Amino acid sequence: MGKLIVVFVGPAGSGKSTLVAAYAKWLREGDIPVYTVSLDPAAETLPYEPDFDIRSIVDAREVARKYGLGPNGALVKAMEIMAERLLDIVGAIAGSDADYVLVDTPGQMEVFLFRDIAWKLSEALQKVSPETYALFVLDASVIHDPADYAFLAVLATAVQLRLGLITAPVLNKVDAAPDTRILGDITRDFGRVAKQLREAGNLYAEMLREMLRVLLKYNRSVAVPRVSAIKGEGIEELHRLVLEMGCGCGDLS
Ligand SMILES: Nc1nc2c(ncn2[C@@H]2O[C@H](COP(=O)(O)OP(=O)(O)O)[C@@H](O)[C@H]2O)c(=O)[nH]1
Ligand SMILES: [Mg+2]
């Protein structure tokens, strides 16, 4: 096979880095070669040892000192430097002979997604491998009701629009989620979500239902993997989703 590149995006603290660590460990245990990339110039510590670490090129703390910037300004500047040095990043990825490349993005999602680096990186990675996908990692505690499921689907679609990469949502921290049964129902059974939204009987619920119907029409995957990166649980399900994102063969179960 060619390379399969997975880019992890998501809000700060959703568990991107922990999930990269867990997925890389899982792949290695299955004797599957994997190359890990950290693109967080502000990372203090990482739960894995990246094969490529952006801090060898740009470190947010040094940028802050050098240019006299605060934390946000330093991050924005670091993103610009990263965009200029894109060839180094992408070259390292292209040069690795691993089947899987896991790309961990900056802790602060917005400095990545709202800057040129996001689409420039996506474009460059797609040239390395057409099988480049994104996972949108969210903390499972944000999901309480069907409207939240719609929120998740819309956010993942927004990321997909921005990156131009097929993007699937992943719910992390299920070990700490208040009620995984409700979570399971609404992430696995769109019929139930639609019914609950219909029963709500208001215009807003109606709008969400229509939005979901359209989104799901164009997105292959409905089941959202529920994982605990910290416990290494649900990684097999995540892996199935990653394989499914590319092959176009639908159900792999
Ligand atoms: N309970 C729980 N905590 C987690 C899980 N995954 C990550 N965390 C914790 O959430 C915090 C942020 O994780 P991190 O991977 O650094 O998030 P990132 O900013 O998205 O890279 C850390 O304290 C992690 O230990 C999980 O599955 N369950
Ligand atoms: Mg991180």
Does 148 map to a domain? yes
Q: What are phi and psi of 186, to 5 degrees?
A: -80, -15
Q: Is residue 244 part of a domain?
A: no
Distance 18 CA to ligand 1 centre (A): 6
Nearest CA to ligand 1 atom 7: 15
Residue 88 located in a structural domain: yes
Does a structural domain hold residue 55?
yes
Query: Residues for the chain: how many in total?
Result: 253
Please identify, by atom number, the ligand 1 atom nearest to the C-alpha of residue 14.
Answer: 20
| Strands lying side by side in the sheet with 34-38 | 52-53, 34-38, 100-104, 4-9, 132-139, 167-172
Q: For 34-92, how does the pLDDT look when each residue is reduced to its tens digit (9 = 90+)?
A: 999 999 999 999 999 999 999 999 999 999 999 999 999 999 999 999 999 999 999 99
* Residue 8 is assigned to a structural domain of this protein: yes
212 domain-assigned:
yes
CATH of the domain at 205: 3.40.50.300
Instruction: Tell me the pLDDT of the chain averaged across its residues.
Output: 88
Is the four-CA dihedral 41, 44, 142, 138 of positive or negative sign? positive
Contact 149, 222 (CB under 8 A): no
pLDDT of 250 > 60? The answer is no
Count structural domains, the chain. Answer: 1
- Residue 252 in domain: no
Residue 223 has pLDDT above 90, yes or no: no
Whether the pLDDT of residue 179 is over 70: the answer is no
* Mutation to probe ligand 1, out of 18, 171, 230 (largest number of atoms < 8 A from CB): 18
Range of the domain at 167: 4-233
Tell me the pTM.
Answer: 0.91
Would residue 240 count as lying in a domain?
Answer: no
Question: E strands of the chain, at which residues?
Answer: 4-9, 34-38, 52-53, 100-104, 132-139, 167-172
